[in-house]
Amino acid sequence: MTPLVLGIESSCDETGVGIVRGTELLANSVSSSMAEHVRFGGVIPEIASRAHLDAFVPTLQEALATAGVTLEELDGIAVTAGPGLAGALMVGVSAAKALALATGKPLYAINHLVAHVGVGLLNGGSLPENLGALLVSGGHTEILRVHRLTDHVELLGSTIDDAAGEAYDKIARILGLAYPGGPAIDRLAREGDPRAVKFPRGLTAPKYMGTAEQPGPHRYDFSFSGLKTAVARRIEADEAAGTPTPVADLAASFQEAVVDVVTSKAVLACREHGITTLLLGGGVAANSRLRGLLAERTAAAGIELLIPPVSLCTDNGAMVAALGSQLVMAGAAPSSLDFAPDSSLPVQTVQL
């Protein structure tokens, strides 16, 4: 059977409700509270949680209307159980439990990171063998090895401080650009010289990288805090010297440092783990330089690159429904209704 599954996402600032039948996407309704965070320059968890509460029912109704289905017709309900902001997760999880209890439908509490990979299966997509994923957003920066989507996912590397998108947002702020900083820096960088300043590439020194035979402690990990400090120091130095800051050059050089290290470590992880197809996910997948350099480097290494449409790369409910549907089809037992969301749910736990 091809199950009809509703997916609920509320881990950060997007309230998402998606509906799929098997791997066919029927609806993907998203309400974002991003505008409410602009004046703070970053997502404020309490504001995001309240916004989920406001947006959930209208977003659900819109998704049901778009798909032309009723709650009674569903075969299952899937919800993001983590990782993410604790309060924000609780809103989606509470809503999902209430729906499951009221309708008697089975509930699947799933991992947000693995759901990012699940969208690759929608609308005729396929996820071949030897699959890896590179997830880059405001909340995460990870390299995954996906042995089997429904129950065997391995974390190869992740950030040890800021997420890549978070670094974009922070640097945009110190450069005087609007939030969210990613699109602003992406645009401005086109007018700048990426070689103007050689900013540090985090965790690329031999003591972190080691060798293929003897990997160092952070071979596939990322760090953006040193880069952030270097950009800030440079701006301070310009100010102290009374010289104008070359904003476009700094944006381009910062972006090059992020994208260089993200793409080179992703390709290295693929090579060393036999990954032959790499899926890109997360909001930073919209970045033009990341797309360009990753395409170049994966092609040179003989790795196939999958980039879903941006509306499915950013946080949404369809990805949750897509993974939920895979679990139903794999015969996974539903989650019991007494789970709590886990803000740091490890990627190995595909379902609670």
12 binds ligand KG4 (CB under 6 A): yes
Query: In the numeric block, which tokens belong to residue 329?
Result: 């089809």
CA 7 to CA 96: how far, in whole Å? 9
In this structure, are residues 258 and 203 in contact, taking their beta carbons and an 8 Å threshold? no
H helical segments located in 129-224: 164-174, 181-189, 206-209
In this structure, are residues 88 and 293 in contact, taking their beta carbons and an 8 Å threshold? no
Element (H, E) at 300: helix 288-300
Task: Choose the contact partner of 96 out of Zn ion, ligand KG4, none; CB within 5 to 8 A by kind.
Answer: none
Span interacting with Zn ion, options 89-97, 122-130, 151-159, 312-320, rule CB under 5 A: 312-320
180 binds ligand KG4 (CB under 6 A): yes
Residues contacting residue 13 through CB under 8 Å, at least 6 positions apart: 32, 33, 34, 37, 43, 48, 51, 88, 315
9 binds ligand KG4 (CB under 6 A): no
With respect to Zn ion, which residue has the nearer C-beta, 88 or 189? 88
Minimum CB–partner distance for residue 136 and Zn ion (Å): 9
With respect to ligand KG4, which residue has the nearer C-beta, 132 or 138? 138
283 binds ligand KG4 (CB under 6 A): yes
* Closest listed residue to residue 145, CA positions, set 291, 320, 278, 329: 278
With respect to ligand KG4, which residue has the nearer C-beta, 27 or 290? 290
Minimum CB–partner distance for residue 185 and ligand KG4 (Å): 6
351 binds ligand KG4 (CB under 6 A): no
334 binds ligand KG4 (CB under 6 A): no
| Candidate list 315, 320, 335, 352; residue touching ligand KG4; CB under 6 A | 315
284 binds ligand KG4 (CB under 6 A): yes
Span interacting with ligand KG4, options 95-103, 215-223, 277-285, 322-330, rule CB under 6 A: 277-285
Which residue has 């999902």 as its token pair?
96
With respect to ligand KG4, which residue has the nearer C-beta, 74 or 313? 313
* Closest listed residue to residue 134, CA positions, set 301, 281, 265, 261: 281
Neighbours of 140 (CB within 10 A): 25
Main-chain dihedrals φ then ψ at residue 268, nearest 5 degrees: -60, -45
* SS3 state at 182: helix
Minimum CB–partner distance for residue 143 and Zn ion (Å): 15
Strands 152-158 and 141-148: antiparallel
209 binds ligand KG4 (CB under 6 A): no
169 binds ligand KG4 (CB under 6 A): yes
| Candidate list 9, 13, 256, 315; residue touching Zn ion; CB under 5 A | 315
Q: What is the C-alpha radius of gyration for the chain, rounded to an integer number of angstroms?
A: 20
Q: What is the pattern of x (binds Zn ion, CB under 5 A) and - over residues 121-160?
A: ----------------x-----------------------
| Candidate list 282, 317, 324, 334; residue touching ligand KG4; CB under 6 A | 282
Q: What is the pattern of x (binds ligand KG4, CB under 6 A) and - over residues 108-137?
A: -----------------------------x
Q: What is the pattern of x (binds ligand KG4, CB under 6 A) and - over residues 183-202?
A: x--x----------------
Residues contacting residue 278 through CB under 8 Å, at least 6 positions apart: 131, 132, 133, 134, 266, 270, 294, 298, 303, 304, 305, 306
CA 94 to CA 74: how far, in whole Å? 18
Residues that bind ligand KG4 (CB under 6 A): 12-13, 137-139, 165-166, 168-169, 180-183, 186, 282-284, 286-287, 314-315
Residues that bind Zn ion (CB under 5 A): 137, 315
